[in-house]
Amino acid sequence: MEKIWESKVLTNGGVFHQQLEQALCEYLDVPYISLFSNGTLGLITALQALRVTGEVITTPYSFVATAHALLWNGNAPVFVDISPDTLNLDPDKIEAAITPRTTAIMPVHCYGNPCNVDAIERIADKYNIKVIYDAAHAFGAKYQGGSLLNHGDLSVLSFHATKVFNTFEGGAIVCQDLKTKQRIDRLKNFGFVDEVTVMAPGINGKMSEINAAMGLVQLKHMPYVFQRRMEIDATYRKALAGISGIDCVQLPEQGGANYAYFPIRVSRDFPISRDALYEKLKSEGIYARRYFYPLISSFPMYRGLSSAQVSHLPVANRVADEIICLPIYPSLREDEQNRIIQMLDAASHLNHF
């Protein structure tokens, strides 16, 4: 705080902003990063940066900001169902949704688990359309040994307080060349090129110095953060394996997980419903989250779309009714985690009602 105050530069690409961009490029092993005040403005600007128009194929199984970014940009979202294994966009269903108006695909690496990036790239190349990954959950996730964030034309991160790495509020766009980085940097600063030149109707998406400084101090702790998350994940997996009706969502087969969330599916074999379990946990002070329920496609501004029909999205609708994300964060103590596990075990012995 003192350093920021002394420098008299509180925002607009100050020293901490530059340092964090540099540090993140190195840490994440990506060529260029542009910091944002949040992930949503990153998504909106990514669409602007690539001049995306018309229809954009996306997943209904995400946080609502994914589709909202399309509406803010005047794009028409086209929902495609998810695959039951990865809970990400099902590549086998994408081509059927492409029309002459399709200019981009916006998949989400849900829970930090990679989309089938190779299949999506093949489709994008075939139809000459862009790919913008909503990588809000994917900080530090790897794919085949490299950063997952280097796939697609752009990847957008969120550094919101609830994320693996946070700057309280914040986000970033990862891009692969300097020219695109410059365009993004201008678009997030009202479109200013220099003091007197404005190249586009840009927005104010700049990250302030205090948020950038928070990022720099937190970045040091990431090895510990990932280690603890991995341990908590392993403990849950082991303990829940024997509970009938609870299925842990699989980690990526090829490794590289970032353990951002711990999603479980509560199936019909479990004695009580997902919502009853959620309420039960809540009544015990355990704040699990129903990510992602309700589905984006069921919200009033989307449900009229033909691609939003329940019959078109059977997998997403089923998963949304079964999912609960259990608490996972570095300071979750062993005894606290055991209490959560015991609660789930006790619920599994309840009688059907």
Ligand X SMILES: Cc1ncc(COP(=O)(O)O)c(C=O)c1O
- Which residues bind to ligand X, rule: CB under 6 A? 38-40, 62-63, 65-66, 108, 134, 136-137, 158, 160, 171
In this complex, which beta carbon is closest to ligand X, that of residue 66 or of residue 147? Answer: 66
In this complex, which beta carbon is closest to ligand X, that of residue 90 or of residue 134? Answer: 134
- Under DSSP, the state recorded for 306 is G
CB of 178 vs ligand X, minimal distance in Å: 25
CB of 319 vs ligand X, minimal distance in Å: 15
Residue 91: partners with Cβ closer than 8 Å, 6 or more residues away: 83, 115, 116, 119, 120, 123
In this complex, which beta carbon is closest to ligand X, that of residue 63 or of residue 139? Answer: 63
CB of 91 vs ligand X, minimal distance in Å: 19
CB 287 within 8 A of CB 275: no
In this complex, which beta carbon is closest to ligand X, that of residue 110 or of residue 243? Answer: 110
CB of 161 vs ligand X, minimal distance in Å: 9
**Largest Cα–Cα distance of the chain, in whole Å?**
71
Rounded Cα distance between 237 and 232, Å, is 9
Rounded Cα distance between 232 and 186, Å, is 41
Rounded Cα distance between 149 and 147, Å, is 5
C-alpha distances in angstroms, 335 versus 45, 224, 235, 277, 338?
43, 19, 12, 20, 5
Rounded Cα distance between 291 and 275, Å, is 12
CB of 30 vs ligand X, minimal distance in Å: 18
CB 302 within 8 A of CB 310: no
Strand partners of residue 248:
264
Q: Which residue is nearest to ligand X (CB)?
A: 39
CB of 65 vs ligand X, minimal distance in Å: 4
Residue 102: partners with Cβ closer than 8 Å, 6 or more residues away: 54, 55, 56, 57, 78, 127, 129
In this complex, which beta carbon is closest to ligand X, that of residue 229 or of residue 235? Answer: 229
CB of 332 vs ligand X, minimal distance in Å: 20
Residue 79: partners with Cβ closer than 8 Å, 6 or more residues away: 58, 59, 60, 296, 297, 302, 305, 307, 308, 312, 313, 316
Could you tell me the two tokens for 78? 């086209």
In this complex, which beta carbon is closest to ligand X, that of residue 193 or of residue 325? Answer: 325
CB of 62 vs ligand X, minimal distance in Å: 5
In this complex, which beta carbon is closest to ligand X, that of residue 24 or of residue 347? Answer: 24
In this complex, which beta carbon is closest to ligand X, that of residue 4 or of residue 296? Answer: 296
C-alpha distances in angstroms, 84 versus 77, 112, 132, 166?
21, 16, 22, 29
